[in-house]
Structure 1
Amino acid sequence: MSSSPAPVSEPLSSRAVIRFLFQSSRRGVAGAALLGGLSGASSTALLALIREALQPGAPLGKMALAFAALCVVLLASRIASQTLVVRLGQDAVFRLRLQVARGIAAAPLRRLEEVGRHRLFAALTEDVTAVAEALPGVGALFTDLCIVLGCLIYLAWLSPVLLGAVFAVALVGILSHQAVVRVAFTSIVAARRAQDEQVRHLLSLVEGVKELKLFQPRREAFLDGALQQVASTYRQHLLRGMTLLVAGAAWGHTLFLLAVGTLLFIVPRWGSFSPDVLAGFVLGILYMSTPLEFTVTFLPQLGRARACLQNVQALGLLLADAPEPQLAPSARPSWSRLELRGITHAYQREQDGREFVLGPLDLTLRPGELVMLVGGNGSGKTTLAKILTGLYEPEGGTLLLDGEPLTGERRALHRQLFSAVFADSHLFDKLYGLGTPDSQAQALLERLQLAHKVHITQGALSTTALSQGQRRRLMLLTAMLEDRPLYVFDEWAADQDPTFREIFYTEVLPELRSRGKGLLVISHDDKYFPLADRLLKLDYGQLTEVRGGQESTARAAGAKHG
């Protein structure tokens, strides 16, 4: 399924990163501002002290003590301000990462599939990391801007007229720099879009490395074609944006040097300013050069962080568009009848991209019943299982639990009825949320013939580097430990050897049924169809039922090869 492109709004200003810090603590940011202001005031006082110390007959002894005291205040306030901003920034990034993670967990499965996991992965790693790396610099930037402001106040005290002339020169740099930044930000946003595609191709590289090794033309076409093209696009956009930012920053810094040249070589010829005032201005502008240099150097990194923060916020809004309710940890529903009435669902087929309509379907499941579902590839079996388990919301029809329609919070509660193992289910390296004694889990490992491969210690699996069949047995172990009222197995036995396939159908499933569990098993193993209480066949989106296991082999043989 193709993913929708990242939403792009108007470029975020640098204030967006500051506002992001406010999410941590307004008091903390206010404290950092006060400390930054103290640092700027100390720097301004040092500038004035240096200028006075250069005058003939200055009391250097007293000034030395004042100079030392100001240096201590400047050092302490600068460290405190930047440390506070770093702490606030990391707190904000911590919450941002968890917010995105919770947004992914709460978003409807269909929405996540539309977004694409490459975008989700890039947001959790690339975007959040870029913001985290930029935030410490925001602390230094904040302090340096306070120093610049203090210097400007001091220069205004020396000569408002001369400061106005300097501002006239600086205004040209500010306006031209902002024009360049806007163009550069457009390229950085385009680079961020290309990064999503690059992550998608890298995921394909990792997951499809066996196929690439087995077919040389495919490997060359993928590496030298698709991957190289998207990587080149990302590089071009990023280089253009970063180059423009660096050039704009350098231009703005150069204009300040031109202001110094104007003070040294032009103003003395046309103005009546004293050499002492001119020297103070030159000293002040040079004194500001270090914080200004950091500011213009930091702008490219800040611009990238702005683009990444914009992407994360846009993705968060997209995922939050249809959030699912949060259930209490103890929520565990009961059931006696689950019904699908007139269920319909449309989607694009992977084979040909055409729209496929599932349904209308009618189905009733009850406790202690083993139902097997057969059908050809693309007939909608997995989609039906996802609708049944509440992972997909049907476009038409109604799901009823014990006669009550499943809507809103009841839909989320309905999902807690199920343990499911799909063809693409993920195997976690720990038994999260179970609290099962290791001895009980280890006993199941013995039964599933995995004890020689895996050990469980405090709920953690010693390894997940197993064959596909063994991994699916561990998923079965997890499902059995969850002990839910309903079980769904999607072609679970397809990767098992004949011995364990026999165990699954003749031992595991009958045991679960005897415990009153509802069972829906998607299968092509016609040998075991007679074990089912009911056999369902899904063909071209329509569901039919075969009564009696003895008829299943003849009626479902075509579905197996369809």
Structure 2
Amino acid sequence: MKNDLIELSKSKMIPIKSIVGYSILAIISGMSGFAFITVINKVISMSINPEIPQNGNYLYMFIGAIVVFFITRRWLSGGVISLSQKIFCNMRKDVMKLVIKAPYRNLQESKDQIYATLTSDVHSITNASLSVITFFSSIILIIACFVYMAYLSLSLFGLSIGIIAIGVGIYLLRSRKSDKLLKQARELESDFMNTFNSIIDGAKEININLDKGFDIYNDKLVGIVDKGEKTYTKAFVHYVNSELVSQILFYGLITFVLIYSGSLLELPIDVIIGFVLILLYLLGPIVSVMTLMPSMNQAKVSLGKMNKLKNDLKQMEYNDGIEEKEKRKFHDFNVFGLRDYSFSYGKDKFSVGPINLNINRNDVIFIHGGNGAGKTTFINTVLRLYDLDKGNAYINDQVVSEEDIDGIKELFSPVFSDFYLFDDFYGIENVDIKKVNYFLRLFEMEEKVTLKDGKFSSIDLSTGQRKRLALISSLIEDRPILVLDEWAADQDPYFRHKFYTEIIPEIVREHDKTIIAITHDDKYYDQADRLLKMEYGTLVEFQKKELEPMFSPMSMG
């Protein structure tokens, strides 16, 4: 756990200086409480033993201890609340920044682990950050009490240390099994998130056929949740049983000191009472330490999981973004070429390529093919969402070097079939309001949506209308190549016709765009400059003269 904490502190998720400062404050607060019990002990000794000189300053000592306790506890409480929230927010920001920079495919494979980390692990570590201060100050108080006990009676102190050591040993031995159970319970969190995501992602299918949902719930989700409940319960019950055994030994020690120490060890009554008072006061910090151990161990598991996730994300090939001056490096291309582009999901799994293709500026390219032919996979390789097994990209017949390859992404602005419509023009500086309004009119959305505070007034629209807004956002990005995956599938017949016959020609001609579109609208294939067909991962291009029979009146009638 120490190494995990060091790594997190280096990332500035856990501000170690703040924790040290608040720990010192907690010690002062705890020692003021210890001073209070010491003064009580002294006053009791004075009352019992008249030989002890009377001192009238104890009232001021009481008041001083109470004032110091109140002030330090108040500062500590506010500081700890602020610190815990800072740790919580820093952890989330740190992980999310890594997520943003991570490659798409790796991110999809790790999303369940990421969800579990951002929910369960972050909360565990945040709660433990509060416990660390209490845990540390309790240890200091225990040491202070030990010193005072040794001062009162070395013989009773030796006996007490022996009993306490036995109790701690029993607790540590029994807690090993609890630690293993906590690790098992944490593993179930990823399984729960995986099942939860299948319910959320498949919500439409489940809504149509509730039996699917109830099968997932009854056959999978309930089992995971119940197992998690039993595992967590078993782990914490082990901790509680260990704690109770230790407390019984402690109460036995107090009973022995109070009843037998006077006769066996010939100790005066004021020392016995003082020792018992210290033992009673010591019980609080000891119980506190034992109570905090489960959350500390749970945090240890979470720290390990979080650091593993961070290391996994860091080991991925990062996209740190492209400097502003480099963003338009390839925007003036005439020909964008692909040579021997190949990608495979793994050995003996589906693959695409090798593909050789030249995309000329202002081309309108339609790609069609059956389901599972590899169209979307091919597009993902072009967009560099998937890392190639082999192949090179060319700009104007010049190969793009490895150090510049991320700049290829700056050529494209896609609208995926499973698109996400953002509620603002993120990543676009100085949004051209006139241009947005122009496109709203072109896409016949001006009566549905306006610009409000620099963003769309509403995105609560039909799927087809939301796709129009997504394409408008892509156009405002002003990148040279638009990539559209089944964009027109959700448009009504009238607007689909307008899109192919009016909008595409206008944005190519007036806005200098190149278009790559996956489409099955064969009625409009004649609007393409080039038609490509994907068959089992291989791309085949039809010549224009081969397309003419497809669009003759007889073939279309």
Scaled by the length of structure 1, the TM-score of the pair is 0.87
The answer to whether the 8 A contact 1:472-1:492 is kept is yes
**AA of the residue aligned to 1:112:** L
Q: Quickly say closer, same or farther: Cα 1:145–1:220, change in 2 above 3 A.
A: same
Number of aligned residue pairs: give it.
538
1:554 Cα deviation after fit: 4.8
Give, in angstroms, the shift of residue 272 of structure 1: 4.0
SS of alignment partner, residue 416 of structure 1: helix
Q: Would the alpha carbon gap of residues 175 and 301 (structure 1) be closer, same or farther in structure 2, given more than 3 Å must change? A: same
> Cα deviation per residue 1:337-390 (whole Å; 9 max; x = unaligned)?
322211211116xxxx96112111112223211111112111111111111111
Once the two structures are superposed, the pairs formed by residues 120-269 of structure 1 within 5 Å of their partners are 120-269=114-263
Q: CA–CA distance in 2 between the matches of 1:19 and 1:50?
A: 45
Alpha-carbon distance between aligned partners in 1 of 2:295 and 2:449, rounded to the nearest angstrom: 46
Aligned residue number for residue 336 of structure 2: 338
Q: What is the one-letter code of the residue matched to 1:136?
A: L
C-alpha contact 2:102 2:319 (8 A) present in aligned 1: no
Counterpart of 1:301? Answer: 295
Equivalent in the alignment of 2:79: 84
Counterparts in 2 of 1:30 and 1:463: CA distance versus 1, 3 Å: same
Shift of 1:97: 0.7
Which structure 1 residue ranges, 5 or more long, are not aligned?
1-11, 556-562
1:113 maps to a residue whose letter is: Q
**CA separation in 2, counterparts of 1:442 and 1:125?**
41
CA distance in 1, matches of 2:140, 2:434: 62
Q: CA RMSD in A?
A: 2.8
Distance 1:174 1:307, change over 3 A: same
How far did residue 123 of structure 1 move?
A: 2.1
Q: Quick one: structure 1 residues 178 and 554, their matched pair in 2 at CA, closer, same or farther if it must change by over 3 Å?
A: farther
Is 1:516–2:512 an aligned residue pair?
yes
Partner of 1:27: 17
1:430 counterpart (403, 424, 429): 424
SS at match of 2:494: helix
Corresponding residue to 2:493 among 488, 493, 498: 498
Aligned equivalent of 2:281, options 284, 287, 292: 287
Q: 409, 412, 417: which one pairs with 1:415?
A: 409
Q: In structure 1, the residue corresponding to 2:391 is in which secondary structure?
A: strand
- Cα distance, 1:507 vs structure 2: 2.5
CA radius of gyration, larger in? 2
Residue-by-residue CA offset, 1:417-452 (whole Å, 9 max, x unaligned) = 211111222122222222425554344333323344
- Once residues 405 and 245 of structure 2 are traced to their aligned partners in structure 1, the CA distance between those partners, rounded to angstroms, is 59
The residue aligned with 2:555 is: none
Contact 1:531 / 1:549 at 8 angstroms: preserved in 2? no
1:277 corresponds to 2:271: yes
Distance 1:402 1:90 in 2: 53
Which residue of structure 1 aligns with residue 531 of structure 2? 535
Q: Tell me the TM-score normalised to structure 2 length.
A: 0.88
Quick check: 2:329–2:407 contact (8 Å CA) kept in 1? no
Q: Indicate the residue corresponding to 1:465 in structure 2.
A: 460
- Tell me by how many angstroms 1:99 deviates: 1.1
Greater Cα shift, 273-282 or 336-345: 273-282
Is the 2:84–2:130 contact (alpha carbons within 8 Å) kept by the matching residues of 1?
yes
What one-letter code is carried by the residue in structure 1 that aligns with 2:487?
A: W
After TM superposition, the structure 1 = structure 2 runs for residues 105-116 of structure 1, keeping only pairs within 5 Å, are 105-115=100-110
Query: How many percent identity over aligned positions?
Result: 28
Q: Which residue of 2 is the match for residue 559 of structure 1?
A: none
1:378 counterpart residue number: 372
**Alignment of 1:52 onto 2:52:** no
Indicate if the aligned counterparts of 1:107 and 1:323 stay in contact, CA closer than 8 A: yes
Deviation at 1:489, TM superposition (A): 0.6
Residue number in structure 2 paired with 1:544: 540
For residues 107 and 198 of structure 1, what CA distance do their matches in structure 2 show?
23
139 and 453 in structure 1: CA distance in 2 versus 1, 3 angstrom threshold? farther
* Residue 347, structure 1, aligned to residue 345, structure 2: yes
* 1:7 matched residue in structure 2: none
